[in-house]
């Protein structure tokens, strides 16, 4: 089993020329693609249609090569696209392809990638224990399929379900004392707690409907969750290191304690065999870095290291755009490459004001 990854700069949301060249040149086959992750230059909000444009372009590119109608392509290849390239972030996508079979003889641990889905959810289940438990089940099952111990899972990228409910159903739930939580905030939160439960980061007895978006001491250090209105089931992407895989890629993770936690970034790079000297990776080291994936959050307590911040009170610029730009600059300044993937809103993703960071690199 081997995973290959291709970092492809883009000139616009619909630019798929880099991936098209790989396919046309026979470097990778369409049926080997597992997922495409990337950043598009929209606002990252609910009306950010750059993601839809990018996904449509990918569907049109891959559909004839997979022998599928475009709407069915995402049943085969997961697209995880994050809008918002504020500051230094450079628009790009990373395509992951998988080939070969498992090695029965264990060797050095190398990157594996897999996908899964939860069962469909009802609107009343979102943000509550049914979503957490079902997400945990799907995550644990995928880890077993990929021959991964919980400690070998370093990134779980998810697009959380938000099934739609009509006005009457929402009103009935409110009158019954259980208002619906089928929104982005609660779907992201429950998804992250599901990952934490599956991987032993939190105990089952500590979880309940009441802790969702309330008890911030409960979090995952490897989850990275977004959510999509209208999505019935959660899409799951898992990245880990298996002793039964080959190739030259590895993944590692850490948890940033706040948006300025450069020490954690440098420590993670060192553990990946890329020690930082002089403040930034050398050009030779930089060539080993394939992908940088992080979650950012404007600390809801209103301060960073004892100093007041104004990200949450700026009426001109949304706090998500502030935090994306700030963390992306921190990461790019250490790695030396502005192709970084930072998504925002981090409910139960790391401690308040911090968040998970994962880096995929070529083994030195």
SS3 state at 154: strand
Confidence at residue 105, expressed as pLDDT on a 0 to 100 scale: 92
Q: Residues comprising the binding site? A: 51, 82-83, 188, 226-227, 324, 343-344
Per-residue pLDDT, 40: 97
List 80, 159, 220, 242, catalytic entry: 159
Instruction: Decide if pLDDT at 310 tops 90.
Output: yes
State how far the Cα of 55 lies from the Cα of 16, in Å rounded to an integer.
10
Q: What is the pLDDT of residues 119-136, one digit of tens each?
A: 999 999 999 999 999 999
By the 8 A CB rule, do 104 and 111 touch? Answer: no
Active site residue 159: yes
SS3 (DSSP) at 267: helix
Model-wide pTM > 0.85: yes
Residue 161, C-beta contacts closer than 8 angstroms, at least 6 positions apart:
118, 120, 121, 126, 131, 187, 227, 228, 231, 232, 233, 234
Tens of pLDDT along 32-61? 999 999 999 998 888 899 999 999 999 999
- Among the listed residues 191, 220, 224, 226, the single catalytic one is 226
CA 94 to chain centre: 12
Please give the Cα distance from 75 to 35 (Å, whole number): 11
pLDDT of residue 46: 80
pLDDT in the model for residue 225: 96
For the annotated binding site for substrate, the residues are 51, 82-83, 188, 226-227, 324, 343-344
| Percent of the chain residues topping a pLDDT of 70 | 100
Distance CA 39, CA 78 (A): 14
């Amino acid at each position: 089993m081997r995973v290959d990854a291709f970092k492809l700069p883009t000139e616009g949301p619909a630019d798929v020329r880099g991936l098209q060249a790989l396919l046309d040149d026979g470097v990778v086959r369409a049926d080997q693609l597992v997922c495409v992750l990337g950043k598009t230059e929209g606002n990252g909000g609910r009306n950010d249609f750059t993601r839809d444009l990018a996904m449509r372009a990918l569907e049109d590119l891959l559909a004839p090569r997979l022998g599928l109608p475009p709407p069915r392509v995402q049943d085969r290849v997961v697209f995880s696209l994050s809008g918002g390239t504020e500051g230094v972030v450079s628009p790009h996508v990373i395509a992951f392809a998988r080939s070969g079979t498992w090695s029965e003889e264990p060797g050095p641990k190398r990157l594996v990638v897999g996908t899964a889905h939860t069962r469909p959810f009802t609107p009343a289940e979102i943000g509550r224990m049914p979503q957490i438990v079902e997400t945990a089940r799907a995550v644990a099952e995928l880890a077993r399929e990929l021959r991964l111990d919980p400690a070998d899972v370093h990134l779980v990228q998810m697009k959380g379900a938000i099934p739609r409910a009509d006005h009457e159903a929402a009103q009935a739930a409110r009158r019954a004392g259980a208002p619906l939580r089928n929104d982005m905030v609660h779907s992201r939160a429950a998804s992250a707690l599901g990952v934490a439960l599956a991987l032993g980061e939190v105990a089952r007895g500590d979880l309940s409907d009441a802790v969702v978006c309330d008890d911030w001491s409960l979090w995952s250090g490897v989850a990275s969750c977004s959510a999509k209105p209208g999505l019935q089931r959660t899409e799951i992407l898992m990245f880990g290191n298996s002793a039964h895989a080959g190739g030259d890629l590895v993944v590692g993770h850490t948890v940033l304690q706040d948006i300025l936690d450069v020490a954690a970034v440098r420590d993670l790079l060192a553990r990946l065999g890329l020690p930082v000297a002089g403040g930034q990776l050398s050009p030779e080291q930089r060539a080993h870095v394939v992908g940088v994936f992080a979650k950012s959050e404007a600390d809801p307590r209103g301060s960073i290291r004892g100093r007041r911040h104004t990200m949450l009170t700026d009426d001109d610029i949304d706090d998500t755009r502030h935090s994306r730009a700030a963390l992306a600059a921190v990461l790019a300044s250490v790695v030396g490459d502005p192709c970084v993937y930072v998504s925002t809103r981090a409910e139960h993703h790391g401690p308040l004001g911090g968040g998970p960071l994962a880096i995929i690199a070529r083994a030195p």
